[in-house]
Structure 1
Amino acid sequence: MPLDWPVVGADGMPLLDRGAILARREDRDFLFRHFQPRRDDRGAQPAPASPGSDAIDPHAPVTIVDLGLSIGMRLGMRPQIGMGREMHACRVIGFAPHHALFVTPLLINGRPLALAPGEQLEVVAIASRAVFLFVCTVEAVCTSPFPYLVLSEPGAIRRLRMRRSVRVPVRLAVRYTTVATGATGSTYEGLGVTHDLSPLGMSLAVPAALGQPGDHVHVAFRIRMDDINLDIEAVAVLRSVQTGQAPDGLTVHGLEFDQLEPTQQIALKCFVLDRAQAAIG
Structure 2
Amino acid sequence: MVKKSNIEFEDMNLQIGVRLQIMLSEVSNPTVHYTTLIGFVSGEYLLLKIPQENDKPVAMKNGDPVVIRVFSGVSVYTFSSKVQAIQHAPYASMYLDFPGAIQKVGLRKAVRVKANLPVKIKSATDPNVFKMATLSDISLTGALVSTARPLGGAGDTINIEFSLRDQTSNQDVTIATTASIRSVQQSAGSTEDGASFHTVYSHGINFHDIDMAHQVILQNFVYETLLIHRT
Q: For 1:60 and 1:123, how far apart are their aligned partners in 2?
A: 16
The equivalences for 1:1-281 within 5 A come to 62-98=7-43, 100-109=45-54, 110-117=56-63, 119-155=64-100, 156-159=102-105, 161=107, 164=111, 166-175=113-122, 192-199=132-139, 201-205=143-147, 208-211=149-152, 215-219=154-158, 220-221=160-161, 224=164, 225=166, 226-227=168-169, 233-241=178-186, 252-258=200-206, 268-274=218-224
Contact 1:170/1:194 (<8 A) preserved: yes
Contact 1:76/1:123 (<8 A) preserved: yes
Deviations 1:70-110 (A, max 9, x none): 33322221122224232122222223354732112234553
Q: For 1:242 and 1:62, how far apart are their aligned partners in 2?
A: 46
Contact 1:246/1:252 (<8 A) preserved: no
Contact 2:177/2:209 (<8 A) preserved: no
RMSD of Structure 2 on Structure 1 (CA):
4.4
Give, in angstroms, the shift of residue 122 of structure 1.
Answer: 0.9
Q: For 1:217 and 1:154, how far apart are their aligned partners in 2?
A: 49
Amino acid at match of 1:105: I
Alignment partner, residue 52 of structure 1: none
Aligned residue pairs, count:
210
- C-alpha spacing 1:274/1:241, structure 2 compared with 1 (3 Å): same
Secondary structure, aligned partner of 1:167: strand
Contact 1:105/1:112 (<8 A) preserved: yes
Q: For 1:72 and 1:104, how far apart are their aligned partners in 2?
A: 10
Q: For 2:34 and 2:113, how far apart are their aligned partners in 1?
A: 20
Tell me the percent identity: 15
More strand per residue: 2
Give, in angstroms, the shift of residue 202 of structure 1.
Answer: 2.2
Q: For 1:166 and 1:69, how far apart are their aligned partners in 2?
A: 25
Off by >6 Å, runs of 4+ in structure 1: 57-61, 243-247, 259-266, 276-279
Give, in angstroms, the shift of residue 257 of structure 1.
Answer: 4.1
Alignment partner, residue 6 of structure 1: none
Gaps of 5+ in 1: 1-56, 178-186
Amino acid at match of 1:256: G
Give, in angstroms, the shift of residue 167 of structure 1.
Answer: 0.6
Instruction: Give the TM-score normalised by structure 1.
Output: 0.55
Instruction: Give the TM-score normalised by structure 2.
Output: 0.64
Gaps of 5+ in 2: 193-197
Give, in angstroms, the shift of residue 245 of structure 1.
Answer: 6.2
- C-alpha spacing 1:173/1:190, structure 2 compared with 1 (3 Å): closer
Deviations 1:171-227 (A, max 9, x none): 2334477xxxxxxxxx99965443433215222437x42246xx2343444655335
